[in-house]
Structure 1
Amino acid sequence: MQPHEFSQFLNQISSEALFVLDTSIPKEKYVPLDLSESNGDLKKVDVSSSEKLGTYISEHIKNHNALVAYGGYLEVRTIYQRSIHFNKQNTEARNIHLGIDLWSEAGSAVFAPLDGEVHSFKNNANYGDYGPTIILKHQIEDEAFYTLYGHLSLESMAKLKIGQTFKQGDCLGTLGDAKVNGDYPPHLHLQIIKDIQGFMGDYPGVCSQTDLEFYKANCPNPNLLLKL
């Protein structure tokens, strides 16, 4: 299946929006959030501080009378400059975000948007990394693909087993706080992955400009499912 065909397939899975956060939060309570390098407001914020970035995001949500901020697919971000995880010596910096972030409170429940089974899970504990991460495998008709949920709480993985099944709407876990989620304000990183490439409990969520075309094809916009 070609990338454009896969995107069409994802979009047609459901005519209704699929939810990964509390279904009682209406779509009008979701507000877009721009964390790209082109957002001039961020130049006044110390984005290397999870506390100060969290204050900026909380005020953005409050000022728009919203409950959740979302966005970030293919955003070029400066926030990753703080971590050697994305800026290894003699390699091109990784600063292009490959998923959608949903910013909400620590402890918020995360739900499976589709039927799936646990492919893998892992605590990616590098500074600036995902922290606790779960990957689900989905099989719809003849098409298999994966969804990744990053920045969860440690409790989300406590009793998890590979192969464990989740029905659409089942609680998958909860959002972690900055102590466990890679030192970010609480949020969910949701990413769709066509070819998991042998990764277990992890998959690149940020890429370099050189690799963008590959990852854009392999990790289409999660908003094809969320329809925000």
Structure 2
Amino acid sequence: MSSIVFSQVLNELAKDSFPLLEPSISNSDYVSLDLSKDNKALQNVDVSSSEKLAIYINNHIQSQHGKVAYGGYLETRAIYNRSAYFKTSNLETERNIHLGLDLWIAAETPIYTPFDATVHSFKNNTNFGDYGPTIILKHHLKDVSFYTLYGHLSLESLQNVEVGQEFQKGEQLATLGDASVNGDYPPHLHFQIIKDLQNYVGDYPGVCSKQDLAFYKHNCPNPNLILKLKG
């Protein structure tokens, strides 16, 4: 299926999707956040520190009178330089381009299932700067199969989940973790759409290199096709 056709399918599915966060949080409560390496406001922020980055993000949310910050799809970020898991000496192969959409909000925030789904896999990805607790759901809707990934969850989110478990649209899937378990980031959800999971289990690249961008852009379309955030 071409990227254009798949995007059209996602647009149609979005009309009947359930919000990832509490429905009481209105669209206007979401404020866009730029964490790219080109954001000059970050030049005086130690983005390698989850505590200092959290202060920056929370101040941004408050200054915009919002409740949630969102953004990051295909954003080139300097934050990954702190981790050997992403950084290389070759700029072409260095993984610093973000493939999901982040929702920055407090730890323990409930996360809901946007569509009917089954659990494909789950895992605690414990590399420094990685996802931490992660769940991948499989969806089969309108004769199309695809996956959604939920990263930076709480440890409790993995305690009772099982492969093949069914979740109904709008059912609580998980809660968010804090920096002690989520790869050392301010609390947030990494949400990613994946067409072909490529035999990964409980994990899938959420950050890619410049040389691999064309493939991942095709395989991981913009999550905002579903979320429709404009705050």
Runs of 4+ in 1 over 3 A off after TM superposition: 88-91
Deviation, 1:14, is 3.0
Deviation, 1:12, is 1.0
Letter in 2 for 1:171: Q
Deviation, 1:160, is 0.6
Moved more, 47-56 or 140-149: 140-149
| Partner residue, 1:31 | 31
| Partner residue, 1:85 | 85
Q: Distance in 2 between matches of 1:17 and 1:102?
A: 17
Q: Distance in 2 between matches of 1:41 and 1:76?
A: 15
Contact 2:14 2:225 in 1 (8 A): no
Contact 1:134 1:148 in 2 (8 A): yes
Structure 1, unaligned stretches of length 5 or more? none
CA shift digits 1:119-176 (9 cap, x unpaired): 0000000000000000000001221000000000000000110000001110001000
SS of 1:210's equivalent?
helix
Q: Distance in 1 between matches of 2:76 and 2:206?
A: 12
| Partner residue, 1:2 | 2
| Partner residue, 1:202 | 203
Contact 1:120 1:134 in 2 (8 A): yes
Q: Could you tell me the TM-score, scaled by structure 1's length? A: 0.98
**Alignment partner of 1:67 is 2:41:** no
Deviation, 1:3, is 1.0
Contact 1:17 1:227 in 2 (8 A): no
Contact 1:73 1:98 in 2 (8 A): yes
Letter in 1 for 2:100: G
Q: Distance in 2 between matches of 1:17 and 1:116?
A: 12
Letter in 1 for 2:172: C
| Partner residue, 1:95 | 96
Q: Distance in 2 between matches of 1:202 and 1:65?
A: 34
Aligned-residue CA RMSD (Å): 1.1
| Partner residue, 1:145 | 146
Contact 2:18 2:113 in 1 (8 A): no
| Partner residue, 1:112 | 113
Q: Distance in 2 between matches of 1:76 and 1:189?
A: 15
CA shift digits 1:12-68 (9 cap, x unpaired): 113366410111100100000000011000001000000000000000001111000
| Partner residue, 1:131 | 132
| Partner residue, 2:183 | 182
| Partner residue, 1:15 | 15
Structure 2, unaligned stretches of length 5 or more? none
Deviation, 1:89, is 5.9
Contact 1:97 1:206 in 2 (8 A): yes
Contact 1:76 1:95 in 2 (8 A): yes
Contact 1:18 1:227 in 2 (8 A): no
Q: Could you tell me the TM-score, scaled by structure 2's length? A: 0.96
Deviation, 1:88, is 4.2
| Residue correspondences, number | 228
SS of 2:120's equivalent?
strand
